[in-house]
Amino acid sequence: MKLATLRDGSRDGKLVVVRRDGQVHADAGAIAPNLQAALDDWERVAPALEALAAKLESGEIAGSPLDPAMLESPLPRAYEWVDGSAFLNHVILVRKARGAEPPATLTTDPLVYQGGSSRFLAPRDPIPLADESWGLDFESEVAVVLGDVPQGVKAEDAGRYVRLLLLANDVTLRNLIPNELAKGFGFFQSKPATAFSPFAITPDELGDAWKDGRVHLPLHTNYNGALAGDPDAAEMHFSFFQLLEHVAKTRSYTAGTILGSGTVSNADRARGISCLAERRMIETIEQGKPITPFMKIGDTVEIEMRDAEGRNLFGTIAQKVVAL
Amino acid sequence: MKLATLRDGSRDGKLVVVRRDGQVHADAGAIAPNLQAALDDWERVAPALEALAAKLESGEIAGSPLDPAMLESPLPRAYEWVDGSAFLNHVILVRKARGAEPPATLTTDPLVYQGGSSRFLAPRDPIPLADESWGLDFESEVAVVLGDVPQGVKAEDAGRYVRLLLLANDVTLRNLIPNELAKGFGFFQSKPATAFSPFAITPDELGDAWKDGRVHLPLHTNYNGALAGDPDAAEMHFSFFQLLEHVAKTRSYTAGTILGSGTVSNADRARGISCLAERRMIETIEQGKPITPFMKIGDTVEIEMRDAEGRNLFGTIAQKVVAL
């Protein structure tokens, strides 16, 4: 099933079920007021949501037209946003871009950072930018929403804790990163609010494309109306299951925690990019210096993923940069 | 007023108001079901909670005896836990201990890290430890709970966003830090679940001791029954107001975000320590090598803060290390 969150003036929005074609929704408020409440009580709530989704799909319930501008991120705020960096091609290129070496344990020890989670942007929210010199960049990612995860879970058991999948634009301020990382405590100011896709979907919606803790489909990013890249998300070096084992080594997680893949990136240059930092590094390698600037006021980015039949699985993240 | 959260089987617990002597509580469920709900609607809720607290103080309401073992951390889970490191003596000693230099911007640019916030330990919960070789350490801190914070807030306006104060034990796995920081993304596995004090109190409870965004009182830590330190929390180099300006530079925060001071530490060695890493570094300086081991199964730590009259302001964090 596809779930979404309608803007209703409350902090957590209103939970709705969305028809597979993304055109129509049904109010799920009688089952759970919002997505966090549904995740808090998933065993009881999920079957009722599935039943509602089946009625919407069969036409037994007509539903109401869905206005994408009225959608919040599925979780407008979450108790935790943990983002991996599991596409090695991205790690190698971005580190090279800032004159840093990839970590010695690149292929054996996952990179993850703890993101801010108290206020996410909606999928069509503008990205507010106070200063263009901060070097605004998009980062197109896949992410999973977890159930309650006990400490010490192993990768082979991790699949049972994946409740939903969604896409993310992990907005980054590139020019704030070097000074911040030099201090040793990781990202902070360089990671403003992330935006997520309109729909969070259950793994079964992906069919065979959800396999071994990876999504085996290309992720499309348009930058200012032109295709920037469509790398295959299957090239994820550490699967979501391996990332979950890594992050659960020393603590447990509440239902509703979001775990991201990191920027989707393929070694095959023909697949393009999911962030401007990669393009700038490729330009540096090929032409001696970066040509593409970071995002400016008025720039747009669109992120979506389609299945083999061309269906837009998660809806489209569509954001424009505006002056704060 | 003093607020606390009673364990009631729910994820967020039940909000109660606590009498100033910490002995008796009154159910605040008719005002707000839990502390997050109260913070979400603070303008409406706070006056009703204050009125209830006044009745409890005057004896108009008798209240019920408070069992500290029944208390969760005031927010058992939070939308964000941002921890500064604003005591420079701590930064200098701990960096020296792991052979690292303090950052060049030590006195001008605050250090903060994004902590995990989806599951906190209760103030009397044991600290589960899977492996003693990880180097478990306590870190005694002061923290504030914020209201809704807009992006771009300045230090001079930050006071209005401080709703509550509390204490924290920011549990750390010291021996996991070096490899983790070498990867460049900051702490992750090295920061297991944090515990907070039994009571979250409004700033007015501190009287003159809440000044310029700092708490002007000593923070007591007992380790295995002996006083480890009582450094003055007033020696915070960056105030909570300055920390808030720093973290709000590029994003906003939902009510209920917790902002920590970092380990309380004084340059005066006679005031002792609030974490074992400092003691080990002092031993290395004075005796050539660290003598004190990190925490072992069975070890205990107690953290509390008393006012000039000896009243225990936040209740006592009292934890024992147990094998996971």
B184 closest CB neighbour out of A100, A179, A251: A100
Lowest model confidence (mean pLDDT) among A74-78, B75-79, B101-105, B187-191? B101-105
Give me the pLDDT at residue A74, please.
Answer: 98
Give me the pLDDT at residue B100, please.
Answer: 78
pLDDT at A100 over 90: no
**Beta carbons of B250 and A103 less than 8 Å apart:** no
Residue of B nearest to A246 (CA): B189
Backbone angles phi, psi at A49, to 5 degrees: -65, -40
Query: Cβ(A292)–Cβ(A276) under 8 Å?
Result: yes
3-class DSSP string for B145-162: EECCECCCCCHHHHHHHE
Question: Is residue B151 within 8 angstroms of chain A, CB to CB?
Answer: yes
**What would the two tokens of residue A289 be?**
């210096």
Average pLDDT over all residues of chain B: 96
Give me the pLDDT at residue A102, please.
Answer: 82
Report the 10 Å Cβ neighbour count for A44: 11
**What is the tens place of the pLDDT at every residue in B85-121?**
999 999 888 888 767 788 889 999 999 999 999 999 9
Query: Cβ(B80)–Cβ(B257) under 8 Å?
Result: yes
Q: Give the 3-state secondary structure of residue A74.
A: coil
Question: Is residue A109 within 8 angstroms of chain B, CB to CB?
Answer: yes
pLDDT at A148 over 80: yes
Report the percentage of chain A scoring pLDDT > 90. Answer: 92
B114 closest CB neighbour out of A173, A188, A253: A188
Residues of chain A found within 8 Å of residue B189, distances taken between Cβ atoms: 246-247, 249-250
The full set of domain ranges for chain B reads 2-70, 77-323
Distance from CA of B219 to the nearest CA of A (A): 25
pLDDT at A97 over 80: no
Give me the pLDDT at residue B288, please.
Answer: 87
Question: Is residue B8 within 8 angstroms of chain A, CB to CB?
Answer: no
Residues of chain A found within 8 Å of residue B323, distances taken between Cβ atoms: none
Backbone angles phi, psi at A94, to 5 degrees: -70, -40
What pTM, to 2 d.p., does this model score? Answer: 0.97
Task: Tell me which of A287 and B47 has the higher pLDDT.
Answer: B47
**Beta carbons of B113 and A114 less than 8 Å apart:** yes
Task: Tell me which of B144 and B95 has the higher pLDDT.
Answer: B144
**Where are the extended beta strands (E) located within A185-309?**
195-196, 200-201, 210-211, 214-215, 220-223, 226-229, 258-260, 300-304
**What is the tens place of the pLDDT at every residue in A8-40?**
999 999 999 999 999 999 999 999 999 999 999
Question: Is residue B134 within 8 angstroms of chain A, CB to CB?
Answer: yes
**Beta carbons of B77 and A181 less than 8 Å apart:** no
Type and span of the H or E element at B164:
strand B162-169
**Beta carbons of A103 and B184 less than 8 Å apart:** yes
pLDDT at B181 over 80: yes
Give me the pLDDT at residue A104, please.
Answer: 85
Lowest model confidence (mean pLDDT) among A84-98, A164-178, B62-76, B251-265? A84-98
Averaged over A47-76, what is the pLDDT? 97
Residues of chain B found within 8 Å of residue A185, distances taken between Cβ atoms: 85, 111-113, 186-187
CA distance A93 to A95: 6
Give me the pLDDT at residue A233, please.
Answer: 98
Backbone angles phi, psi at A69, to 5 degrees: -70, -15
Query: Cβ(B176)–Cβ(B187) under 8 Å?
Result: no
Question: Is residue B246 within 8 angstroms of chain A, CB to CB?
Answer: yes
A117 closest CB neighbour out of B79, B185, B190: B79
Give me the pLDDT at residue A28, please.
Answer: 98
Query: Cβ(B265)–Cβ(B139) under 8 Å?
Result: no
Residue of A nearest to B108 (CA): A183
CA distance A163 to A42: 9
Whether ipTM exceeds 0.90: yes
A80 closest CB neighbour out of B112, B118, B182: B118
**What is the tens place of the pLDDT at every residue in B1-27?**
999 999 999 999 999 999 999 999 999
Question: Is residue B100 within 8 angstroms of chain A, CB to CB?
Answer: yes
Question: Is residue B176 within 8 angstroms of chain A, CB to CB?
Answer: yes
Give me the pLDDT at residue A93, please.
Answer: 87
pLDDT at B204 over 90: yes
Strand partners, A71: A6
Residues of chain A found within 8 Å of residue B179, distances taken between Cβ atoms: 105, 109
CA angle B115, B119, B120 (to 5 degrees): 75
Neighbouring residues of A240: CB distance < 8 A, sequence distance ≥ 6: A144, A158, A162, A213, A214, A259, A261
Hey, what long-range contacts does B304-309 have (CB within 8 A, 24 or more apart)?
Answer: B304/B167, B304/B197, B304/B219, B304/B220, B305/B142, B305/B167, B305/B215, B305/B217, B305/B218, B305/B219, B305/B220, B305/B233, B306/B217, B306/B218, B306/B220, B307/B206, B307/B207, B307/B209, B307/B217, B308/B209, B308/B217
Give me the pLDDT at residue B96, please.
Answer: 80
Superfamily of domain A77-323: Fumarylacetoacetase-like, C-terminal domain (3.90.850.10)
Distance from CA of A214 to the nearest CA of B (A): 22
pLDDT at A49 over 90: yes
Distance from CA of A100 to the nearest CA of B (A): 10
Backbone angles phi, psi at B245, to 5 degrees: -60, -40
Residue owning tokens 């597979």? A20
Q: Give the 3-state secondary structure of residue A123.
A: coil
Q: How are beta strands A258-260 and A81-84 bridged, if at all?
A: parallel
Q: Is the dihedral of CA A112, A115, A120, A122 positive or negative?
A: negative
CA distance B133 to B130: 9
Among A residues 200-229, those touching chain B with beta carbons less than 8 Å apart? none
B80 closest CB neighbour out of A40, A116, A184: A116
Averaged over B184-206, what is the pLDDT? 97
Question: Is residue B253 within 8 angstroms of chain A, CB to CB?
Answer: yes
**Beta carbons of B130 and A100 less than 8 Å apart:** no
Identify the burial level of A210 via C-beta atoms within 10 angstroms of its C-beta, where 0-12 means exposed, 13-18 middle and 19 or more buried.
buried
| Residues, chain A | 324
Among B residues 281-310, those touching chain A with beta carbons less than 8 Å apart? none
- How many CA atoms are closer than 13 Å to the CA of A85, on its beta-carbon side? 24
Query: Cβ(A14)–Cβ(A29) under 8 Å?
Result: yes
